[in-house]
């Protein structure tokens, strides 16, 4: 199916002449290339957004904790029933564990996740007046909440810039030779030094969007990649444009996205509710 026409089409890479970054690329040259990649991704994904459904900071915090080891789609299909049963931290802290486990079972690791959600809800109730704190140092003290989750919440619920280093983000920045670090905290520090703080949150969305749609882990669609000329790892995946286009996912491939309630400017189709796939 054809790629989405919103922004720059992924198929524009067909006419590009991919070139690899010099092996002796200077740090300054790398920074310039990285910032150009960010500008290009902003044109390709002007609608980039967090792919978890949420209406307030508490819902985003819970959804992000649930997203570990599963897809955002599965989380989004599960949280409507969860928030209907437990709309506030006070409600969730007082839940019957077995009942919550049954609701979130589709997300996997449901016993450990129930323990984390009840624990962080109790902490919000007892230590923060039932409100999600807007500081990283407070968020990371909550059960089941690390820097990645904290940055997701800060950037998208509070407007505080943050870099979200998930598996997609780490994979792509290493492919682009921005860093060879594997530790997420070190990756975050390196990337924070390349971009101004004002870009951190949207950069995270753009990189994750690109990783999910085009630059896949096992078989990246190199031949349909709009930033191929800037990628030193071009050729790790399918370079034939027609074959590569068949690898595109979500709206780029004409398929539903992950959110049941996507932003108004999202060019793709909403995801189906649980059981309607």
List active site positions.
148, 166
Which residue, among 169, 213, 210, 209, has the nearest Cα to 190 in the 3D structure?
169
Q: Of 38, 48, 42, 67, nearest to 148 (Cα)?
A: 67
In the numeric block, which tokens belong to residue 211?
Answer: 């990783």
How far apart CA 199 and CA 201 sit, in angstroms, is 6
Cα angle 164, 170, 174 (rounded to 5 degrees) comes to 140
Q: Are 75 and 110 in contact (CB under 8 A)?
A: no
Q: Which of 101, 86, 74 is nearest to 272 (CA)?
A: 74
Task: Specify whether the CB–CB gap between 124 and 89 falls below 8 A.
Answer: yes
Spatial distance between the Cα atoms of 62 and 85, rounded to a whole number of angstroms: 13
């Amino acid at each position: 199916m054809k790629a989405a026409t919103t922004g720059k089409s992924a198929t524009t890479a067909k006419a590009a002449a991919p070139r690899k970054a010099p092996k002796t690329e200077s740090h300054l040259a790398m920074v310039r290339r990285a910032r150009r990649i960010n500008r290009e991704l902003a044109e390709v994904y002007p609608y980039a957004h967090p792919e978890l459904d949420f209406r307030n900071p508490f819902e985003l915090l819970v959804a992000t904790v649930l997203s570990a080891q599963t897809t955002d789609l599965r989380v989004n299909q599960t949280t409507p029933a969860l928030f209907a049963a437990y709309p506030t931290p006070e409600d969730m802290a007082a839940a019957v564990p077995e009942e919550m486990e049954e609701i979130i079972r589709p997300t996997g690791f449901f016993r450990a996740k129930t323990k984390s959600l009840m624990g962080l809800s109790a902490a919000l109730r007892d230590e923060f007046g039932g409100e999600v704190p807007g500081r990283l140092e407070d968020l990371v003290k909550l059960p089941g909440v690390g820097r990645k989750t904290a940055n997701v919440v800060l950037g998208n619920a509070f407007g505080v810039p943050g870099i979200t280093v998930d598996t997609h983000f780490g994979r792509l920045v290493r492919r682009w030779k921005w860093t060879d670090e594997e530790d997420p905290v070190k990756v975050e520090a390196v990337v924070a030094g390349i971009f101004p703080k004002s870009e951190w949150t949207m950069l995270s969305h753009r990189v994750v969007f690109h990783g999910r749609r085009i630059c896949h882990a096992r078989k990246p669609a190199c031949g349909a990649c709009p930033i191929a000329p800037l990628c030193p790892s071009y050729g790790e995946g399918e370079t034939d444009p027609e074959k590569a286009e068949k690898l595109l996912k979500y709206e780029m491939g004409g398929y539903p996205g992950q959110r049941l309630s996507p932003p108004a400017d999202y060019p793709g189709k909403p995801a189906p509710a649980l059981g309607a796939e």
